[in-house]
Each structure stands twice: as structure tokens, then as C-alpha cells.
């Protein structure tokens, strides 16, 4: 019976892993075993990073809103409570963008919240 070596198949499979590891440092980009380990680890980090990005942006928006409402004599939690009581349907991202790019409009929102909270 003839001997089967699987040369093309194995080489192609290994090249796919090495191709994914392009740009990695040292043997991680050339050695099949190290490249495969690093690609798997990198995919895990990327998965976690996609979740962390959402958290980080929410933290950023909260910090910006807090900094923007402080001059009006409110803090973040009071302001968000007022937003809910007022019935304004603005999320944190939009509030943050308003505070940065359109301070006059943001001031109107803050005044509406203050009016609602004073009742």
C-alpha cells in the first residue's frame, strides 16, 4: 500500500494560522505552534476587549456629564434622576455630545431638569 504524507493539506492548514499571526513579535509570527497559541490568545483578548469598550465608553460619558452639570449646582446622580422625572428620552451618549458640542442646548436641558427637581 502507498504511503500518504498529507503534505499539501498540512502545509495549507499551518499557513492559515501563520497568516493570522502576521505582525506578531519574534517566533510568534513564524513558528506554527507559537503562532497558533498566540492567535487563540489574541482572539480571547479581542472578545474581552469588545465588552470592555462598551464599559469604557459608558464611564467616559458619565464623567463628561458629571463635569458638565457641576457648574449648574447638580451632580451626576441628581441630574440623571431629574432626566427620568422630566421624561426626556436622552441617553448618556447624547447628553455627553450635547454638553461638548452644544452647551447652550445642554443648559436648556439642565434648566428643565432643575425645574422638575424643584417641584
Domains of the chain, with CATH numbers? 21-118 (1.10.1900.20)
Query: Mean pLDDT throughout 93-109?
Result: 95
pLDDT at 91: 94
Predicted confidence band of residue 2 (pLDDT cuts 50, 70, 90): confident
Instruction: Please state, in angstroms and rounded to a whole number, the distance separating the CA atoms of residues 41 and 57.
Output: 24
Closest CA to 89 of 60, 55, 64, 112: 112
Residue 4: all three cell numbers together? 500518504
Amino acid at each position: 500500500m502507498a504511503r500518504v504524507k498529507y503534505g499539501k493539506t498540512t502545509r495549507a492548514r499551518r499557513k492559515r494560522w501563520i497568516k493570522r499571526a502576521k505582525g506578531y513579535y519574534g517566533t510568534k509570527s513564524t513558528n506554527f505552534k507559537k503562532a497558533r497559541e498566540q492567535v487563540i490568545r489574541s482572539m480571547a483578548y479581542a472578545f474581552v476587549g469588545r465588552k470592555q469598550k462598551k464599559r469604557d465608553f459608558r464611564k467616559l460619558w458619565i464623567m463628561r456629564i458629571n463635569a458638565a452639570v457641576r457648574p449648574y449646582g447638580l451632580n451626576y446622580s441628581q441630574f440623571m434622576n431629574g432626566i427620568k422625572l422630566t421624561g426626556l428620552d436622552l441617553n448618556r451618549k447624547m447628553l455627553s455630545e450635547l454638553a461638548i458640542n452644544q452647551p447652550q442646548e445642554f443648559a436648556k436641558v439642565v434648566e428643565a431638569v432643575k425645574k422638575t427637581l424643584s417641584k
